[in-house]
Structure 1
Amino acid sequence: MKVLFVCTGNTCRSCMAEVIFNQMSNLDNIEAYSAGIAVVQESKTSKYTAALIEDNFKINISNRKAIQFTKEMLEENDLILTMTSYIRNVLSENFPKYKNKIYTLNEYIELKEDINDPYGGDAEVYKKTFNMLKKSIELLLGKIREDNGIV
């Protein structure tokens, strides 16, 4: 199973979610990826995102380049989880054939709020986003286990 996290620029939330998911998951044959719907060419992971990933997982993603979302990603991934309802709606409206596998992350785990974009904020704003993503991904991993009969 492939899970794709999608945000705006793929420098803050979705790349953070990708690492959190892959580091927290102990599920076989499930891997997360990430992309953005409006990537600035040659942009890299934000410094606060890179610092949080380094501090929490000892992984250096500071030179990771943002990845532009493509239609092919809809075909290649089993579950598309966006950070906001706006991004979910953009993808669902532009690619109605794949609507059944596009959700917001929090909608998929039955939470209401979007994952706010920390872009332009200070380290504390990024930390709040990181903590929200970590909590949501813990619930996501539990849902995937439950949906697949994994105890």
Structure 2
Amino acid sequence: MNVLFVCTANVCRSPIAAEILNKLSKKVDIIADSAGITIIPGSLPTEKSISLLKDKLNIDINDREAKQVSIKKLEKADIVLTMSSYSRDFIKEKFPKFKNKVYTITEYAGVKGGVTDPYGSSVVVYQKTYEELEELVSRVLDRIKKEGSM
């Protein structure tokens, strides 16, 4: 199963969520990728995102460039999980063919709200966002396993 995480610029939340899922699901057939709805070509993850993933998961995303959400990425994905309702609605409107597989990560995980965008914030905010994503991704993985979508 291929899961695509989507946020705004693809430099904080969605790369973090993808790496968490890839780490948690390494023994099952689930692969995560990430993209943004409005990226700046050539942009790299924020220093705080890089540092967090290195500290928490021992993963280096230092050279990972932001990726734009595209038809090709949406076709490859079995499910698309966005960090906000704005991103979900944007994808559903711009790419209506894929609307049945697009959810916010929170609605798919069975909780309310969206994921805080830590961009430009303190390390503490990044840490809280990471913890929030860790919990949500764990719930997503549990749901995928329970529904036998693998």
Q: Residue 84 of structure 1: CA displacement?
A: 0.2
TM-score normalised by length of structure 1:
0.95
1:67 matched to 2:70: no
Partner of 2:10: 10
For 2:118, the equivalent position in structure 1 comes to: 118
Q: Identity over the aligned pairs, expressed in percent? A: 41
1:78-125 CA deviation, whole Å, 9 max, x = no partner? 000000001000111111121110000010111111001110101111
Q: Aligned with 1:43: secondary structure?
A: coil
After superposition, the Cα gap between the structure-2 partners of 1:109 and 1:42, relative to the gap in structure 1 and judged at 3 Å, is same
- Structure 1 residues 113 and 59, CA gap change in structure 2 (3 angstroms): same
CA-atom RMSD in angstroms: 1.3
1:147 alignment counterpart? 147
User: How much has 1:28 moved relative to structure 2?
Assistant: 2.4
Residues 146 and 115 from structure 1, CA distance in 2 versus in 1: closer, same or farther, beyond 3 angstroms? same
Secondary structure of 2:130's counterpart equals helix
Q: Structure 2 regions of 5+ residues with no counterpart?
A: none
Out of 63-72 and 74-83, give the one that drifted further. 63-72
Residues 68 and 149 of structure 1: CA distance in aligned 2, closer, same or farther (over 3 Å): closer
How far apart, CA to CA, are the structure 2 residues paired with 1:139 and 1:27? Answer: 17
Distance 1:96 1:27, change over 3 A: farther
| Residue deviations 1:48-102 (CA, integer Å, cap 9, x gap) | 0111100011111122111111111111110000000010001111111211100
Corresponding position of 1:79: 79
Gap change, CA 1:56 and 1:41, over 3 Å in 2: same
Q: Which residue is 1:107 aligned to?
A: 107
In structure 1, what is the equivalent of residue 33 of structure 2? 33
Moved more, 79-88 or 19-28: 19-28
Q: Separation in 2 of the partners of 1:94 and 1:4?
A: 16
Q: Aligned pair 1:23/2:19, yes or no?
A: no
Aligned residue for 2:55?
55
- Counterpart code for 1:92: K
Q: Distance in 2 between matches of 1:12 and 1:88?
A: 17
User: What TM-score do the two structures reach when normalised by structure 2?
Assistant: 0.96
Q: Which runs of 5+ in 1 are unaligned?
A: none
3-state secondary structure, aligned to 2:100: helix
